[in-house]
Amino acid sequence: QQEQLQELRGLAATTPDGTTLEIAANIGRPRDAQPAVAAGAGGVGLFRTEFLFLDRETAPSEEEQVEAYSTVLQEFAGKTVIVRTLDIGGDKSVPYLSLPREDNPFLGVRGIRLCLAPPYQHIFRTQVRALLLAAQLNVASLWIMFPMICDLRELRQAKSFIAETEAQLLQEGKLTAPVLPGLRLGIMLETPASAWLIDQLAKEADFFSIGTNDLAQYTLASDRMNANLAELHRPFHPAVMRTIAHIIQTARKLQRWIGMCGEMAGNPRASAFLLGLGINELSMEAGSFNAVKQVIRNTTTAQARELVERVLAAESSAEIEEMLS
């Protein structure tokens, strides 16, 4: 069976009736890019850039970041690379930023909230400058994704920040021509607020990617790291499955590209359900590619749609786990 899985490396995730899902990699460092390509990644669905900021004394400079982003874009030449802007706060603390202590860090100033807050905007500015400068290389298609967006106000602020930064770089002569027309700007859907505002967000976001780790945590009001909540926090809770269904179905209706980059995307037990809903892309650790492809290659879209109906009618995680096994 291991050999069968190995053979899948060069094959697409295409169903017997001809629907193809994009299979992309989650990476945290430039050095993860090459092994992901070797394992058959069709692109990067999530580059968690906060890893560039952890375990060091100072923030990485503009030059260092240009170098890091360029390395990944070059490894994925001709493909799509989704770079998520800095997602710190929550459980990811950065000593040199001296973030204030919060009673509920996961409900506090994290992700895009932190990047747009005046005391930290300089960190975000440097990152965006580096991304736009790396985009100038034009080797891969760069999509920029904002984490933890709740509503249009935040999305608009983030987009203005990017536009302002481009204007500065043009003025300084560091950019010789605008790069924004060639980029896509999208968001993570990982808060219940964004899930319910997806129709509004779709007017201004070029693409979406579902972050199931945070989406489950915020939907169930249960800390994703708390072992005492494991019974509630099972991977396929009916409330989470219905939220995901609402998101994907709405995105497809509005003709917006929709991917998934949380843990669920790499769980082969979820693949048929996500296929049935019409997801465009699944992004995961490279080690999960083959198991997910194997499910997709053996499931017809009709079977997958029928499974969706049953899952959405289920009353418990246990019942859904049974259906998906």
Binding site for ligand PEP (CB under 6 A): 46, 48, 87, 190, 211-214, 261-262
Identify which of residues 32 and 214 has a Cβ nearer to ligand PEP in the complex.
214
11-to-4, 20, 265, 294 alpha-carbon distances in Å: 12, 11, 18, 10
What is the phi-psi region of residue 108: left when phi exceeds 0, alpha when psi lies from -120 to 50, beta otherwise?
Answer: beta
CB of 255 to ligand PEP, least distance (A): 24
Identify which of residues 60 and 111 has a Cβ nearer to ligand PEP in the complex.
111
48 binds, among Mg ion, ligand PEP, none (CB under 5 to 8 A by kind): ligand PEP
Q: Does 190 bind Mg ion (CB under 5 A)?
A: yes
Instruction: Quote the distance between the C-alpha of residue 163 and its chain's center.
Output: 22
212 binds, among ligand PEP, Mg ion, none (CB under 5 to 8 A by kind): ligand PEP
Identify which of residues 211 and 278 has a Cβ nearer to ligand PEP in the complex.
211
CA proximity to 269, closest of 253, 282, 256, 254: 282
Instruction: Quote the distance between the C-alpha of residue 167 and its chain's center.
Output: 27
Q: Does 214 bind Mg ion (CB under 5 A)?
A: yes
Q: Does 43 bind Mg ion (CB under 5 A)?
A: no
Q: Which residue is nearest to Mg ion (CB)?
A: 214
What 3-state class would DSSP assign to 92? strand
One of 211, 235, 259, 266 touching Mg ion (CB under 5 A):
211
Stretch that binds Mg ion, among 47-55, 88-96, 185-193, 281-289 (CB under 5 A): 185-193
Q: Does 259 bind Mg ion (CB under 5 A)?
A: no
Identify which of residues 212 and 299 has a Cβ nearer to Mg ion in the complex.
212
- Ranges of H-type helices in the chain: 2-7, 33-38, 62-75, 112-116, 121-135, 152-172, 192-196, 198-201, 212-219, 238-253, 268-277, 289-297, 301-313, 317-324
Tell me the C-alpha distance between 242 and 251, whole Å.
14
Residues forming the site for Mg ion (CB under 5 A): 190, 211, 214
